[in-house]
Amino acid sequence: MTKTKKIVFLLPFVAILTLVASEEIFASAPVLTGRWGNTCLPPQLISQYETKPTQAVVVVTFSTKCPLVRRLIPKLNELQKNYDETGIQFFALFPNGSDDLQSIAAYAQDTGLIFPVYKDDAENPWHEQLELKTTPQVVVLDTRDGYDPTKIVYRGQVDGMWFGGGTADTKQDYLADALDSFLQGKEPLLSETAASGCAIARHAPRDLSEYQSVTYYREIARLLQDNCMNCHREGEAGAELFSSFEDYETVASMSEVMLSRMENGLMPPWHGRTDAEGETGGFKHDERLSTGQIDTFRAWVENGCPVGDVADAPPKKKWPSSEDWAIAEPDFVFEMPEPYEVPLFRLDEYQFYRVKANFSEDRYIQAIEVKPGNRAIVHHIGAIIGPHNEKQLVATQAMFELYGLTGDKVKKVGDYIAGDPFNARTYEKDFALKLPAGHDIFFEMHYTPTGRKEEPDVSRMGIVWANQKPEHVLETKVFNRKDIRLRPHDMHYEKSNYYQFPTDVLIYALAPHMHYRGKDFAIYKAVNPGTPEEKRELIMSVPTYDFNWQRTYEFVNPVRLKAGDALYTVTHFDNSQYNPNNPDPEALVKFGLLSAQEMLNLRVKYEVVDFGPVQ
């Protein structure tokens, strides 16, 4: 009887302790940042899908600079593949302050890392909560009953390889042995081993001594005006989605968030990279901030956002209105004949309009600009060349006739894609696009409704004609892959392909295109493709593909591609819950025009040339 009373008395106390402990676990949970800039808490990494429950998570500390981690990637990838079906999920955790999201994503792409990457919380680090001190070091957490950082199955080395020694062929498979024991319901022979590697440095050392006098009016206002306010001002998308940067009070209040996004390369948005010392010479119109510009903003924030003297402010910039043309006053303007009402609940809507040209001789386009009438519902616009006739084409017919069965038939002269500098393009002297005699231009409209109400759109296109045939005639070709079959929860689905031209060409610009599940995109120049003598050179890559920021990347110097050589691409899709853009990780995804389906194409802006006899 006495025992029963004691038990009844202790139960509420135990429940309270459990509740307090649980609250402490979640209240102190670090905020992790994924490759797209998405944030989550560690408990969110546990799968909630019945078809793919998470039995355990394996957290591996990584560094973009530690050579030992890089040597372990093939083994870690193999382990993830081997244990994926058992509900064991690996994560790469980058705890060093010197690793930003762009360098992390580039590292993952370059090394072929297949599992999700996250940057650690600098102020409340997950690696410290898990008692991880070096890179690489691993911890296995039992998550069968949910997330609890104290339920450690194993912590330590991956396989016995140690800093300064060990081999990739070692037979000390500590991690694999611990996972096998866990799956068999046994305690591992070793639950902890002494990790050895590169010490973690959560804060990156920076010398900001030359930026100590920075003020808002003298430096920051000018930096924002030159790099951010084309979008972050009243009436533009950046102001609606985030904030306007037009006054000191707003900027100072948002400064820490702004700094974080600058440091991680999220803003200004620019996802492509190329070797400026290589054949391309870098990108034209590269919008990324320099290290000096970021340090200027960082020093201003760390010094308390001093306002300075208003007399130092830059002159007010006169911004163009939404009605103004960014190109010169057009010689020819096409406007949709009447407003199109976009249906409220139709997810993706395509409409085609024929712009009758049918000139008796070739015409050349010096400048072209495609302008959406209602940016809230216009997903993209394409200006496509097609033969003149009197057919009234509905969307499906137009797609087939203009794109062809594989999609490689399409010839585009212009596009509108939110944020792409090619939306308004004036070509240099002696360069122009060709509109062949006997052809029309088709206005391809892709709409995505807001879901609030039916909204109208009247979009436009302006063209400036060249005075004469130019020396350099530019063309656009779209290469497509349609054999896409992306299984549910597949986090690293790979497609690769060669794209060839029948002639010598100079490639001026490239535009990769995927949908929501796109993860990364790499483009190589392949000499002697498909032969033992094949050589590949990386032209450009997009380590983090973002469907919301599709761009045309124009090179400083064109890439020379001889007839018979090829562009070789390697792309990856992420259909897992760890892709924040993914509408449904449980879906089997195939090729399709709808945004929830997938596409894989590469638009190439090129010129047909003749390099002469092959040497």
Alpha helices in 459-506 (DSSP H): none
Q: How far is CA 381 from the centre of its chain?
A: 21
The residue type of 570 is V
The mean pLDDT of the chain is 89
The structure's pTM equals 0.89
**Residue 473: its pLDDT value, please?**
96
DSSP 217-261: IIIIHHHHHHHTTTTSSTTSHHHHHT----SHHHHHHTHHHHHHH
**Residue 359: its pLDDT value, please?**
92
**Residue 26: its pLDDT value, please?**
47
Q: How far is CA 611 from the centre of its chain?
A: 36
Helix or strand run (H / E) with residue 339: none
Bridge partners (DSSP) listed for residue 357 = none
The residue type of 334 is F
pLDDT in tens, 212-255: 999 999 999 999 999 999 889 887 778 777 889 999 999 999 99
DSSP 94-138: E--TT--HHHHHHHHHHHT--S-EEEPPSSS-HHHHTT--EES-E
Residue 506's closest CA among 426, 600, 609, 577? 609
**Residue 454: its pLDDT value, please?**
84
**How far is Cα 494 from Cα 521, in angstroms, rounded to an integer?**
10
User: 3-state SS of the chain: helix, strand, coil percent to 5?
Assistant: 20, 30, 50
Compute the C-alpha angle 30/77/180, nearest 5°. Answer: 85
**Residue 4: its pLDDT value, please?**
38
Angle, helices 174-183 vs 67-83, to 10°: value is 20
Q: Residue 31 carries which DSSP code?
A: -
CB 63 within 8 A of CB 107: no
Compute the C-alpha angle 88/92/97, nearest 5°. Answer: 155
CB 435 within 8 A of CB 475: no
pLDDT in tens, 287-327: 999 999 999 999 999 999 999 999 999 999 988 887 889 99
pLDDT in tens, 456-471: 999 999 999 999 999 9
pLDDT in tens, 508-567: 999 999 999 999 999 999 999 999 999 999 999 999 999 988 899 999 999 999 999 999
**How far is Cα 565 from Cα 396, in angstroms, rounded to an integer?**
34
pLDDT in tens, 356-404: 888 999 999 999 999 998 888 888 898 888 888 887 777 667 776 777 6
**How far is Cα 16 from Cα 279, in angstroms, rounded to an integer?**
66
**How far is Cα 376 from Cα 210, in angstroms, rounded to an integer?**
43
Q: Is the pLDDT of residue 21 over 70?
A: no
The distance between the two most distant Cα atoms of the chain, rounded to a whole number of Å, is 106
Q: Indicate the range of 10-19, 143-152, 288-297, 521-530 predicted with least confidence.
A: 10-19
Q: Is the pLDDT of residue 163 over 60?
A: no
Domains in the chain: ranges and CATH:
31-199 (3.40.30.10), 219-312 (no CATH), 320-470 (2.60.120), 477-614 (2.60.120.230)
At 291, give phi and psi (nearest 5°). -60, -40
CB 462 within 8 A of CB 327: yes
Helix or strand run (H / E) with residue 25: helix 2-27
**Residue 231: its pLDDT value, please?**
85
Determine what percent of the chain is predicted with pLDDT higher than 70.
92
CB 30 within 8 A of CB 128: no
Q: 172 exposed, middle or buried (CB, 10 Å; 0-12, 13-18, 19+)?
A: middle
pLDDT average, residue stretch 98-111: 97
pLDDT in tens, 478-489: 898 889 999 999
Residue 265's closest CA among 97, 39, 104? 104
CB 374 within 8 A of CB 501: no
The tokens for 80 are: 């993830």
Count the neighbouring beta carbons within 10 Å of the beta carbon of residue 503.
13
**Residue 169: its pLDDT value, please?**
57
pLDDT average, residue stretch 81-89: 97
pLDDT category of residue 110 using cuts at 50, 70 and 90: very high
pLDDT category of residue 338 using cuts at 50, 70 and 90: confident
Q: Is 3 left (phi over 0), alpha (psi -120 to 50) or beta?
A: alpha
**How far is Cα 26 from Cα 69, in angstroms, rounded to an integer?**
30
Q: Indicate the range of 202-211, 223-232, 273-282, 412-421 predicted with least confidence.
A: 412-421
**Residue 1: its pLDDT value, please?**
40
